[in-house]
């Protein structure tokens, strides 16, 4: 395992307020798991070459040119997240439910020419789509018999005089441990530390304790797409979209350790909490086309510019310790605030679709995105140098290939759909998560009358991820996490101006 990979994932564990804006932040806001109407979701989001669905405004704006009339749709969702963690052979399950608005939009037919050549239709559209749902609840629980988070803190502040810990931003979390009698200098020193597990260096540690970490995340990215597109001679469709993305993200980490008996130091237990929140707005531009060389065949292409986010960030952490002979101690660091910008990578998508007479349609597409191109930058008069963080992103993340396929079969007024999506590996070879990717499985059914429709779709997105709790000279405890997201979507639509 590469040392750089360990450092990166320690940052991702968010155990230090001074380590904000890390690789995980850059990847989280760069990845897009296309969401939308129930039809769009149940066909795996493979609509780059299809169009004709309001959700395609957020993917390939040329899809708006396929509309022959005005249309409005609304898609509420039920989101279910489930996690299973394996830490030192201890299995723990957790879950949550969340109701949200997955999609809402309207397409207005501005121009409709009854001829068969030139500009036949011109449409304007607006669509809101939740592009990411960050709701997660993960519990890691097990027995650690070799090390403690306190050892990580003790190693971090080695060489720093205890009287200066409160002034050292990189030691903010370890300072809380020192202040609450969980860390103390070894006898005769001022800058080398022992932990309460060893009675501050006087004994060998007798670990074998229960360790629990609970990670609770919430929030979303939601894109407002404003689009214009047209149909030229019924074989070429062109469109453009201005994307305005709202970002909201909250994360709370709680780490606790408990001894089964009172140690010589008097230590019983402690609980460390870390909270941070991101919020901001990003802007992007998308252009695309769909071409029909022959009537049943469609070829689509879209380009999405980098999204430029301006983000505000709030950080806070605290600790509660229980050491016999002393009062239960609570200490909190002063809250920290940051403002910065994040530029996510551009992405390109190429798709093909084939109409099987009036029986159904099949569609497939390939998307390219280079996550290593994500970049942080200063905002306003902030003088922070992001060079090192951006280099870490470039060294850690790589380009990925995403593939989506979908199919729809028609039986009178009923439609049956299925889809699959593969979202490729984002971490470079040598990283502990270099084999982490996402699979998406979906299906659904719909009913369509002349100008109304009701669709139901189900999507399951699964991935595995290795999570490092901390890293010490003795060991690096890792939890193997299996994560599943189940999305149930119902769409109601109405066509008018037919």
Q: Tell me the per-residue pLDDT of 231-266, one tens digit each, with 9 for 90 and over.
A: 999 999 999 999 999 999 999 999 999 988 888 899
Classify residue 310 by its DSSP letter. Answer: E
Nearest alpha-carbon partner for 24 in 439, 374, 387, 438? 374
Give the chain's mean pLDDT. Answer: 92
Q: What are phi and psi of 268, to 5 degrees?
A: -120, -55
> Distance of CA 284 to CAs 122, 395, 452, Å?
22, 25, 32
Sequence-ordered list of residues with C-beta below 8 angstroms from that of 10, at least 6 positions apart, any chain: 468, 470, 471
Q: How far apart are the first and last CA of the chain?
A: 62
pLDDT of residue 498: 64
In CATH, what number is assigned to the domain containing residue 359? 2.40.160.60
pLDDT, residue 285, reads: 98
3-state secondary structure of 496: strand
Beta pairing, strands 209-232 & 236-258: antiparallel
Task: Give mean pLDDT, residues 294-301.
Answer: 96
Domain for residue 278, yes or no? yes
Residue 151, both tokens: 């050892």
The pLDDT score that the predictor gives to residue 381 is 79
Asked if residue 118 belongs to a domain, the reply is yes
Burial pattern 466-477, b for ≥16 Cβ within 10 A else e, equals ebbbbbbeeebb
Round to whole Å and give the CA distance between 229 and 109. Answer: 10
Antiparallel, parallel or unpaired: β 347-356 and 297-304: antiparallel
Q: Identify whether 355 is part of a domain.
A: yes
What is the average per-residue pLDDT within 313-318? 94
The b-or-e profile of 124-156 (16+ CB within 10 A means b, else e) is bbbbbbbbbbbbbebbbbbebeebbbbbbbbeb
* Number of C-beta neighbours around residue 62 at 10 A: 32
pLDDT at 28 over 90: yes
Confidence band of 3 (pLDDT split at 50, 70, 90): very low
What pLDDT does 5 receive?
37
- The pLDDT score that the predictor gives to residue 325 is 74
For residue 104, tell me if it sits in a domain. yes
Does residue 465 lie within any of the structural domains? yes
Domain that holds residue 456: 3-147+207-496
CB 402 within 8 A of CB 423: yes
- Dihedral (CA of 3, 24, 429, 481) sign: positive
Q: Which of 84, 173, 88 is nearest to 476 (CA)?
A: 88
pLDDT value of residue 469: 95
The residues with which 332 forms a beta bridge, in sequence order, are 318
Site of tokens 């780490």: 255
> What's the CA gap between 166 and 178, in Å, rounded?
10
Res. 465: pLDDT tops 90: yes
Residue 262: the pLDDT is: 85
According to the model, what pLDDT value does residue 161 have?
93
Exposed/middle/buried for 101, CB within 10 Å: 0-12, 13-18, 19+? middle
| Domain-located, residue 357 | yes
Give the chain's domain count.
Answer: 1
At 414-448, the pLDDT tens digits run 999 999 999 999 999 999 999 999 999 999 999 99
32 phi and psi angles, rounded to 5 deg: -130, 125
**Rg of the chain over CA atoms, in angstroms?**
26
> In this model, does residue 298 exceed pLDDT 50?
yes
For 59-111, the pLDDT digits (tens) are: 999 999 999 899 999 999 999 999 999 999 999 999 999 999 999 999 999 98
The pair phi, psi for residue 19, each rounded to 5°, is -110, 35
What's the confidence (pLDDT) of residue 416? 98
Mean pLDDT for 50-54 is 94
Query: Angle 3-12/23-30 helices, nearest 10 degrees?
Result: 70
92 occurs within a structural domain: yes
Q: So what's the pLDDT on residue 34?
A: 86
Residue in the structure block whose two tokens are 């007798």: 206
Domain contains 156: no
Strands (E), 384-437: 399-411, 414-423
- With tokens 């020419």, the residue in question is 113
């Amino acid at each position: 395992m590469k040392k750089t990979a360990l450092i990166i994932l320690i940052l991702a564990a968010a155990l230090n307020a001074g380590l904000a804006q890390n690789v995980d932040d850059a990847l989280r806001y760069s990845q897009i798991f296309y969401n939308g109407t129930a039809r769009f979701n149940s066909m795996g989001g493979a609509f780059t070459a299809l169009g004709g669905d309001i959700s395609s405004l957020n993917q390939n704006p040329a899809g708006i040119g396929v509309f022959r009339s005005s249309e409005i749709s609304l898609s509420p969702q039920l989101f279910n997240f489930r996690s299973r963690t394996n830490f030192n052979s201890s299995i723990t399950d957790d879950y949550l439910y969340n109701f949200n608005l997955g999609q809402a939009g309207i397409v207005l037919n501005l121009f409709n020419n009854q001829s068969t050549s030139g500009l036949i239709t011109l449409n304007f559209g607006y669509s809101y789509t939740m592009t990411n749902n960050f709701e997660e609840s993960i519990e890691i629980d097990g027995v650690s018999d070799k090390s403690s988070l306190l050892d990580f803190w003790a190693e971090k502040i080695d060489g720093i005089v205890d009287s200066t810990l409160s002034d050292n931003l990189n030691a903010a979390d370890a300072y809380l441990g020192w202040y609450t009698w969980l860390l103390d200098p070894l006898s005769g020193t001022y800058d080398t530390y022992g932990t309460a597990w060893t009675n501050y260096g006087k004994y060998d540690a007798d670990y074998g304790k229960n360790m629990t970490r609970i990670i609770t995340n919430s929030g979303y990215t939601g894109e407002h797409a404003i689009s214009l597109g047209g149909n030229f001679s019924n074989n070429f469709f062109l469109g453009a979209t201005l994307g305005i993305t709202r970002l909201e993200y909250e994360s709370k980490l709680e780490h606790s350790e408990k001894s089964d008996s009172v140690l010589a130091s008097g230590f019983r237990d402690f609980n460390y909490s870390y909270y941070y929140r991101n919020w901001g707005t990003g802007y992007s531009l998308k252009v695309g086309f769909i071409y029909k060389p022959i009537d049943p065949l469609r070829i689509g292409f879209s380009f999405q510019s980098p999204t430029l986010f301006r983000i505000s960030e709030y950080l806070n952490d605290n600790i509660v310790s229980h050491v016999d002979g002393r009062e239960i101690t609570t200490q909190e660091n002063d809250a920290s605030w940051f403002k910065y910008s994040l530029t996510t990578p551009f992405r390109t998508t190429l798709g093909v679709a084939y109409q099987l007479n009036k029986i159904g349609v099949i569609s497939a597409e390939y998307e390219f995105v280079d996550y290593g191109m994500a970049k942080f930058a200063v905002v306003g008069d902030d003088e922070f140098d992001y060079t090192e963080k951006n280099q870490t992103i470039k060294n850690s993340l790589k380009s990925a290939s995403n593939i989506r396929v979908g199919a729809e079969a028609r039986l009178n007024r009923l439609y049956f759909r299925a889809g699959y999506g593969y979202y490729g590996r984002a971490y470079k070879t040598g990283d502990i998560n270099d084999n982490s990717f996402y699979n998406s499985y979906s299906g659904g059914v719909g009913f369509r009358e002349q100008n109304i429709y009701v669709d139901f779709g189900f999507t399951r997105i699964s991935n595995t991820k290795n999570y490092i709790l901390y890293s010490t000279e003795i060991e690096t405890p890792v939890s193997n996490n299996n994560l599943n997201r189940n999305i149930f979507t119902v769409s109601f639509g109405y066509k008018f101006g037919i």
